[in-house]
Structure formats: structure tokens, C-alpha cells
């Protein structure tokens, strides 16, 4: 009887999600989705629409959960663990935005994602595995 390792299951799951091995290109779409939700939360906060703000923040948090679950965080990897740290900071920023009704927190959220997206352009997709 063959025993399947968790690494093999995770690799297969990620490959199935992206119709092949994931690369840096799939991160960009997620980050842009997060920025979209953050901007919509900021607009809702500016209009004092608390339910819409909470919904957009919840959607951003759900997307962070999905993106975190797809990262390769095995011992030999560097990008996955680094992104987990960044995603934890983004979650904290969303929590601050929601609990404090903070436009500054939402601006920080957008700025952090903008930097990730900009830095991705500088990085060759063929060199850095996701």
C-alpha cells in the first residue's frame, strides 16, 4: 500500500487549482483582488456604510485565507513562508481598519499590496518558484 505524503497532496492541489504548477503570475491576481476589496471598503467607510465596509473586509480576509492555503511553506522554500508573514500583517491591518473604522489602515493595506505588485514586476517568474 502506497502512502501519499502531505507534500505530494499539497503540490497536486495547487497544480489542480491553477491548471499546472503555480507561479508568481497567480499571486498578482490575488493581490489585485485584495486591493479592490480594500478600496471598496475605504469608499464604504467614507460614505459611512458600515455593512458594506464589513462585507468588503470579510471578502478580503476570505481571499487571504485562500491565498495562504495555496502557498508552499515546506522547509526548503522561502517565498511561501515570507508571504505567510506578509499575509498575517495584512490581516492585522484589515482588523484595525474594521474595528477602528480607520481610513489610514485601509491606505496602509493598499500601499502594502501595491509594493508587492510592483516588486513582482521586477522579479522574473522563471526564477522564483511560488
Give pLDDT, residue 16: 59
Nearest CA-CA partner of 97 in 54, 63, 59, 65: 54
Residue of higher predicted confidence among 62 and 82: 62
Task: Write down the domain spans for the chain.
Answer: 23-122
What single-letter DSSP state applies at residue 79? H
CATH 3.40.50.800 fits 23-122, yes or no: no
pTM of the predicted structure, to 2 decimals? 0.76
pLDDT above 90 as % of the chain: 51
Q: Which three cell numbers stand for residue 1?
A: 500500500
28-80, pLDDT tens digit by residue? 888 999 999 999 999 999 999 999 999 999 999 999 998 888 777 778 878 88
Task: Give the Cα separation of 42 and 126 in Å (integer).
Answer: 35
Residue 124 has pLDDT above 50, yes or no: no
Nearest CA-CA partner of 101 in 34, 60, 44: 44
Nearest CA-CA partner of 34 in 54, 63, 58, 55: 63
Amino acid at each position: 500500500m502506497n502512502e501519499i505524503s502531505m507534500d505530494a497532496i499539497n503540490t497536486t492541489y495547487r497544480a489542480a487549482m491553477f491548471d499546472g504548477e503555480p507561479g508568481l503570475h497567480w499571486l498578482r491576481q490575488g493581490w489585485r483582488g485584495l486591493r479592490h476589496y480594500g478600496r471598496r471598503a475605504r469608499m464604504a467607510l467614507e460614505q459611512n456604510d458600515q455593512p458594506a465596509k464589513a462585507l468588503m473586509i470579510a471578502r478580503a480576509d476570505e481571499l487571504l485565507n485562500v491565498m495562504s492555503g495555496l502557498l508552499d511553506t515546506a522547509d526548503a522554500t522561502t517565498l511561501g513562508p515570507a508571504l505567510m508573514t506578509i499575509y498575517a500583517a495584512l490581516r492585522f491591518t484589515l482588523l484595525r481598519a474594521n474595528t477602528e473604522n480607520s481610513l489610514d489602515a485601509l491606505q496602509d493595506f493598499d500601499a502594502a499590496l501595491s509594493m508587492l505588485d510592483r516588486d513582482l514586476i521586477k522579479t522574473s517568474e522563471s526564477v522564483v518558484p511560488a
